[in-house]
Structure formats: structure tokens, C-alpha cells
Amino acid sequence: MQLPNGYSDVPDGKIAAVVTHLEMTARPADAGLEGPWMLRREQAPDLDWYRDLHRRVGEDWLWLSRQQLGDAALAAIIRSPLVEVYALVHERHDEGLLELDFRNSGDCEVVYFGVTEKLFGRGAGRWLINQALERAWSHPINRVWLHTCTLDHPAALAFYQRAGFRPFRRQVEVTDDPRLTGAVPRTAARHVPIIG
């Protein structure tokens, strides 16, 4: 279904986001991989550890899909031999999450990428995307892709484009507002008004 031109109502209790899919089809020039951070791969991520880091990085951007999965479904994804989960470590604390999915042959999807608010504005995001691209392109792939949306950090789309990604698809996603269902605190995502 295509949305008509003009405004479309979003029902009370729902949120809407414009999702932009971006891709990179050639390995970029080598970028800086040095910084005061470390990247640690979790070979078989502990589910509580993963959910905690995922929540700390993504709660204000309403990342929910993984938080709502049962243990078996979450373990099947993040412990797959074709999925790589990393923590960005800062001063011996896990402050960033990177998840690369190679399950679709020839592709690497950057499924989750972000740092905690503690590292905003310190270059950690740029360092982490450089690490992500280095690891992704070390596999025999044809493209790296990801998506971001209007619920994410306001600088996310421009950040990915500066890193070399180009938009190739746009969608509108409507879903229940997780602050009204109790999935996240009502204080999360203050940049998105609650209606309902």
C-alpha cells in the first residue's frame, strides 16, 4: 500500500517513523582505527548482558525488537555463527554495541550500532563505524547495509552518509508506543511526544 500525498493520521497510542535504508557497495578507503576504546567480540553473548547493553544504548531511540524476544529466539540470532556481536569498551565498561549479520549471503547488515550517552560527542561513534566497516569488509561480501529512522539520534542519517552509505529505500513504520505498553519507561525518547 502506498501512502497518499498529504497528512495521514497516526492513531492514538501509536508512533510513526520514517525509515531510511542505506547501503555501501564498495570497501571504503582505510579510516582511522585508533582511539581510547577497545572492541571486544562476544562469541556466545550472555542474554542478560546483551539486553542490558542494548537497552542502555537504544532505549532513548526506542530500540525494542530484541528486548521483546524470548530467550530462545534471541539466543538463536545473537549466537548464530553468522552474527557477530561486539562491545565498545571504555574505561573497562561496555559503552557501545555493534551487531553484524552475515546470514544473507553476500551481505552484511549492521543490525545494531550505537554508543551510550556517556560517549556522545567524543568520536566514539566514528571510531565504532570504522571498526564495523573494517570487520564487515573482511568477509567476502558485496555490500554493507543498515537502516535508521526518525526516532534515532537526529544526526544518525547524516553520520551514515558521511561514512559512505547511500540511501536506497524509504518506508514509514507505525507501531504501538512502547512507553504506553510498559515496554520502556514513559520518560524514554523525550524527543517523541506521547499521544494516547
CATH number for the domain spanning 153: value is 3.40.630.30
Note whether residue 190 is domain-resident.
no
Does some domain include residue 129?
yes
Task: Give the list of residues 6+ apart from residue 94 with CB closer than 8 angstroms, or none.
Answer: 40, 49, 53, 87, 88
Residue 105 counted as domain residue:
yes
- Note whether residue 95 is domain-resident: yes
Within a domain: residue 86? yes
Domain coverage including residue 54? 14-181
pTM: 0.93
Nearest-10 Cα torsion for 177, 168, 96, 86: 120
Q: What's the CA gap between 116 and 60, in Å, rounded?
A: 10
User: Is 175 inside a domain boundary?
Assistant: yes
Domain membership flag for residue 25: yes
pLDDT tens for each residue of 166-192: 999 999 999 999 999 988 899 999 999
Domain count, the chain: 1
User: What's the pLDDT at 105?
Assistant: 96
| Of residues 72 and 30, more confidently modeled | 72
The least confident of 29-43, 94-108, 128-142 is 29-43
Q: pLDDT-derived band of residue 4, with 50, 70 and 90 as boundaries?
A: confident
Name the nearest CA neighbour of 49 among 11, 8, 85: 85
87 within a domain of the structure (yes/no) = yes
